[in-house]
Amino acid sequence: MKVLTDLIRDIPDFPEPGIVFKDITPLLGDHNGLQVAVGALVDHYRDAGVTEVAGIESRGFIFAAPIALSLAAGFIPIRKPGKLPYDVIREDYELEYGTDSLELHKDAVKAGDRVVIIDDVLATGGTAITAAKLVERLGATVVGIGVMVELEFLGGRQRLEGYDLISLVQYEQP
Ligand code: AMP
pLDDT in tens, 137-163: 999 999 999 999 999 999 999 999 999
| Within-domain flag for 6 | no
In CATH, what number is assigned to the domain containing residue 92? 3.40.50.2020
Q: Is the dihedral of CA 57, 124, 25, 43 positive or negative?
A: negative
| Within-domain flag for 114 | yes
| Within-domain flag for 53 | yes
| Within-domain flag for 54 | yes
Q: Is 108 exposed, middle or buried (0-12, 13-18, 19+ CB in 10 A)?
A: buried
Q: Residue 143 is which amino acid?
A: V
Across the chain, what does the average pLDDT equal?
97
- What's the gap in Å between 87 CA and the centre of ligand 1? 26
Q: Is 122 in the pocket of ligand 1 (CB under 6 A)?
A: yes
Percent of the chain with pLDDT over 70: 100
CA-nearest residue for atom 12, ligand 1, is: 121
| Within-domain flag for 8 | no
Q: Is 59 in the pocket of ligand 1 (CB under 6 A)?
A: yes
pLDDT of residue 140: 98
Query: Structural domain of residue 140, as residue ranges?
Result: 47-171
Dist CA 102 CA 119 (whole Å): 13
| Within-domain flag for 155 | yes
Q: Is 127 in the pocket of ligand 1 (CB under 6 A)?
A: yes
Average pLDDT over residues 21-44: 98
Distance between first and last Cα of the chain: 18
Task: Identify whether 91 is a catalytic site residue.
Answer: no
| Within-domain flag for 128 | yes
Largest Cα separation within the chain, whole Å, is 44
DSSP string, 77-128: EEB-TT--SS-EEEEEEE-SSSEEEEEEETTS--TT-EEEEEEEEESSSHHH
Helix, strand, or coil (residue 27): helix
List, for residues 96-128, the tens digit of each pLDDT value: 778 999 999 999 999 999 999 999 999 999 999
Task: Identify whether 96 is a catalytic site residue.
Answer: yes
CB-CB contact of 105 with 76 (8 Å): yes
Q: What is the total count of domains within the chain?
A: 1
Percent of the chain with pLDDT over 90: 95
Q: Which atom in ligand 1 lies closest to the alpha carbon of residue 59?
A: 12
Average pLDDT over residues 63-81: 98
What phi and psi values does residue 7 have, to the nearest 5 degrees? -105, 10
Q: Is 118 in the pocket of ligand 1 (CB under 6 A)?
A: no
| Within-domain flag for 135 | yes
Q: Is 150 in the pocket of ligand 1 (CB under 6 A)?
A: no
Q: Which atom in ligand 1 lies closest to the alpha carbon of residue 57?
A: 10
